[in-house]
Structures are given as C-alpha cells and as structure tokens.
Amino acid sequence: MNANLNNNDFGKRLKSMLKVDFRRMFTTPTVWIMFGVSLALPILILVMTSFVGGQDPETGEAVATFTNVWQAIGSAGGAMSMDLTSMCNINLLYFLAAIFVCVFVGEDFRSGYVKNLFTVRSKKVDYVFSKTVVLFVAAAGMFVVYFIGAMIGGGIAGLSFDVAAGMLLFTMIPMMTPLNSGAFNVILCVAGGPLFAFGLGAVSNVILNKTSLV
Amino acid sequence: MNAIEIRNLTKTFGEKRAVDGLNMTVPQGAIYGFIGENGSGKSTTEKLICGLIQPSGGEIKLWGKDHKDQNVRSQIGVLIEAPGCFPNYTVWNNMKLQAANLGLKNENEEIRRVLHLVRMDGAASNKFKNCSLGMKQRIGIAFALLGNPALLVLDEPINGLDADGMRIMREILTDLSRRGTTVLISSHILGELEKIATHYGIIRGGKMLCEMTAEELNADCPTYVALKADDVNARIVLERAFERVEYDQEHGELRVYGNNRAEEIADFLYKQHGIAVTEIRTAKINLEEYYIDLMREGR
C-alpha cells in the first residue's frame, strides 16, 4: 500500500481538532461542574448577603451588601480588587475558566491522549488554537449560566432588577477582561479573542515546535 | 520506495545520547522487527519517527518526505507504550474522539471495523479504565488501525497479551503486511517476532548494529548438534575435539557448533571414549539465540 498523501491543510486540521475538543468539552464532567458552580455561586451570594449585610461606617446602620441584582455581576472594577463584593461576583469566572482550561488540557497529557493528537496530523498550533476557542466558549457558557443564576438568586432574595439590560452587558463585557469599561475597551475585548488565539498559536509554533511534548 | 529512511539520527537528553547516529531503512510493506535491550533507544527512535519528540540531529524521511509533513503524518498509526485513552470514557467514545481527530467521514463504520479486527466488538461500551491490560493493548492497536494507515509504529504491542491475543495480533499484522501496510514493531518477545517479521534491525546504545531480512537472518543463523549423554566427561571430550561447545542449561543438553553430522559425533563419543549418547538432533539457532550471541559478542 502506497501512502495516500491527502492534503491536510490548517482548516481541515483545525476543524477536526475543534470537533474533538467540543465533543470532549460536553462529555467531560469538569465543564458541567463549572457550569454548576457558576449557577450556584450568584444564588448563594445574593441569598446569603441579603440576610447578612454590612454596616454603614458613618451612621452604623445595617446595610445590605447588594440592593440590586446587577451589583452581584458588575459590582466593582478590576479583578485585582480583593474585597468580598469585588471577588464574589462575575470576577470569579476568571478563576473558574482558568481551572477549567487547566483541567481540560491536563487531562490530555495525563491520559496520554495528546500522543494520539500529535502523532497523526495535528500541529501544536492547531492544539493551542482549538483549546483557546474551547476556553472562550466555555467561559461564555459560564457567563450565561452566572447571569441566569444571578437572576434566580435576585428573585429569591427579593432584590431589585432595575437597570437596562443593554447597559448591563456593556459594563459586564469589559469586566470579563482585565480592562475597565469603555467603548474602546469593549471593542478590544471582542477583538481580543481572535488576537489572543492567533498570538498564542504563533508563539506556540515558534517555541513549541522546538520542544518535545511527550 | 522505502516507507522509512533514517540517516544519522541523533537524540540527546542532557549528556545522554539516547540515539547516536542511527541509520535505518524500512522497505514498503515490510514487517520490521526492531530489537534491542532496554534503554537501547528503540522507543526514542519510534517517538522521533512519530514526531512526539524532536531529533537533535539527522533526518527522518517517510515515503521520501520529511516526517514532520502533516500529509505524511496522517498516514501513520501509532501505539507507543500505552494507548492514550481517557480512563472514564468508554472505548467507543475514546475511538470516536480519535476518529474525529483523523477527520474520518464514516466514523461509526470505521470504529466497528477496527474493533472487529482486534476482536473487541463486545468491549465498545466498557469504560477504558475497566479494561484488562490485554484488552487495553488491543484497543491501542485498534486506535492505530483507525483510518487504515499505510505505516504502523508499534512499541511493545504484544506485552500483556495472552496466547490467543498474540495469535490474533500475528494474524492482523501479517494480513496488513500482505495488503501493503508497513509495520515497524519493537518487542522483547523475540519468539513471536520471529514468526511475522520480514526484516530486522538490531539496535544497541542508540546505534544500529545490523539490519537484515528474515532470509538473511536464516542464512546467518548457525546450525548445531544438540545431544544428551550420561557421562559428565562428554563436555570435556567434546570441547577438546570441537571449536565451540556450549551447555544449554534450559534444555540440559550440549551443543556442538560447526559440525552438523550428528551420527559422526555420536560415533566419536561412543567408539573413541565409551560415552553413550541418549538423545541427539541437529537444530538451528533461533532469533532469540542469535540476538543473545550478537549482544555477547558486542560486550
């Protein structure tokens, strides 16, 4: 049998790799656990903080941590801020997404599955690109689930829902990146996904190609 | 055309040279038995061929093209060490992932075909972690066979297989070779390898000691006369009369090399020294013995 050397261009390889990764993503328990945490988190935060509030430093009166559902999502600025209201909000999705991608990629290497990928036709750049896309999709899924969780939690806690949803999205999207809100930042954020993927892909092609993986 | 051509291949890990200027040629359609001691560089060479690790020097050509070429790589089926499967997935789901990775169009049909080939049809719904070692090896072979590759690289594929599993493996590989698939197989079970290999390469210290066809090996394997005698002096007598005499502890027999005339030796012992021979036969050394001799000579 002579080798039938078909054309395996980047598009074909990436399509296959994405198919593998999305199949894995929806069959691995990790992603469902992350979605579960993303759903439970805002419910727990909103319900619990509606019972346990803080104190107004000036008047000494009891003040609820959140008075509005959307505060739980976009309550504070950058992810580096370490107080309760800034951490127990959508910033937690940074950590969940990071954990998810670590476990997801780690499983490939731990099980030796990565051998199957690289010994056939996949390039390392395909792998990095595909994993980046999966991370973004998973993070977007967690974001949506968190959003739903926040509404459920707000409903249970009896918090106000007063705010325009469009404005909310406008403030939330920049929060998912280490940028502050602003039209330019939102545009950067939207463009950031592909730029990040291409950047990582290029770096991996240059560096990882000279590295032994397994 | 040769399926694999390796020239001056080198791989170093720190100070250690795992592969040291290796040259190797695997003809298209051959079952190439790749033999060597533990740590001789077999697995490293196979990993280099598959692109799992990068060479420090030299070149690897598959069908005359660079081994990194994605179009070439898509024609390789690999089982290196253990099959890379997710333990909590079923065998079927693991295979579905690999079928998707290969970009196969008729995934289900192809998975059924390869599972049937390795007689694992019934295990498709088993979780991979619940499979026995032998089953896992067979699944690994099925993985490698997905997409009908033109080159199979198998590292110790018969480890852990029972007698039936080994027979099945022999049948599969012989059949594939008949259809033109090239198989590069490394194994320490030389008796099994001898039954199927058409070519051999013996590696030592990262260097190729020799490459030969099965016919060349057969011609190169010396014949000997094996005998059993009641008298303990038989060995001393034979050692004085013949250049190479060895005692085979496993079979409890003396081996006289360089003389194939069994009757002559029996007469010599009985008529000249009064030593009766209880058993005598002529035989040829097998691959295992040839390999051990070669290794001893090298020391």
Number of domains in chain B: 2
Report domain extents, chain A.
Answer: 11-21+29-210
Q: Are residues B92 and B125 in the same domain?
A: yes
Q: Are residues B64 and B193 in the same domain?
A: yes
Instruction: Tell how strand B223-229 and strand B277-284 pair up.
Output: antiparallel
Find the closest chain B residue to A5 by CA distance: B71
Listed residues B212, B238, B259: the one ending a domain: B212
Instruction: Identify the pLDDT of residue A213.
Output: 47
Chain B (54-113) residues lying within 8 Å, Cβ to Cβ, of chain A: 54, 62-63, 65, 69-76, 78, 80-89, 93, 96-98, 100-103
Alpha-carbon dihedral sign for residues B183, B187, B193, B199: positive
Q: Are residues B176 and B291 in the same domain?
A: no
Instruction: Identify the pLDDT of residue B118.
Output: 87
- pLDDT for B135-174, tens place per residue? 898 899 999 999 889 999 999 888 778 888 888 888 888 9
- Indicate yes or no: CB of B73 within 8 angstroms of CB of A114: no
The residue range of the domain holding B114 is 2-212
Q: pLDDT below 70 — which residues of chain B?
A: 298-299
Q: Are residues B22 and B124 in the same domain?
A: yes
Q: Are residues B51 and B170 in the same domain?
A: yes
Alpha-carbon dihedral sign for residues A130, B90, B168, B162: positive
ipTM over 0.95: no
- pLDDT for A168-186, tens place per residue? 565 565 555 544 545 655 5
Q: Which amino acid is at B221?
A: C
Whichever domain contains B233, its CATH number is 3.30.70
Q: pLDDT below 70 — which residues of chain A?
A: 1-7, 52-65, 71-91, 163-214
Listed residues B157, B182, B212: the one ending a domain: B212
From residue A165, how far is each of A136, A153, A185, B267 by CA, in Å? 22, 17, 19, 107
Q: Are residues B198 and B119 in the same domain?
A: yes
- Mean pLDDT, chain B, integer: 88
3-state SS assignment for residue B51: coil
Instruction: Identify the pLDDT of residue A214.
Output: 40
- Indicate yes or no: CB of A4 within 8 angstroms of CB of B75: yes
Q: Are residues B130 and B51 in the same domain?
A: yes
Q: Are residues B186 and B251 in the same domain?
A: no
Three-class HEC string of chain A: CCCCCCCCCHHHHHHHHHHHHHHHHHHCHHHHHHHHHHHHHHHHHHHHHHHCCEECCCCCCEECCCCECCHHHHCCCCCCCCCHHHHCCCCHHHHHHHHHHHHHHHHHHHHCHHHHHHHCCCCHHHHHHHHHHHHHHHHHHHHHHHHHHHHHHHHHHCCECCCCHHHHHHHHHHHCCCCCCCHHHHHHHHHHHHHHHHHHHHHHHHHHHHCCCC
- Strand ranges across the sheet with B277-284: B244-248, B253-257, B223-229, B277-284
Q: Which amino acid is at B280?
A: I
Q: Which residues of A touch B (CB under 8 A)?
A: 1-8, 12-13, 15-17, 19-20, 23-24, 27, 29, 107, 111-123, 209-214
Q: Which of A12, A22, A120 to probe by mutation at the B interface, max B CB count within 10 Å?
A: A120
Q: Are residues B32 and B146 in the same domain?
A: yes
B197 and B242 in contact (C-beta within 8 Å)? no
To 10 degrees, the CA torsion angle through B256, B258, B263, B266? -30
Q: A54 has which bridge partners?
A: A63
To 10 degrees, the CA torsion angle through B182, B188, B194, B196? -30
Half-sphere exposure of A39 (CA within 13 A, CB side): 8
- Please name the member of A8, A111, A122 whose beta carbon is closest to the beta carbon of B87: A111
- Indicate yes or no: CB of A111 within 8 angstroms of CB of B84: yes
B143 and B135 in contact (C-beta within 8 Å)? no
The pTM score is: 0.75
Q: Are residues B14 and B83 in the same domain?
A: yes
B228 and B253 in contact (C-beta within 8 Å)? yes
Listed residues B212, B243, B262: the one ending a domain: B212
- Indicate yes or no: CB of B89 within 8 angstroms of CB of A19: no
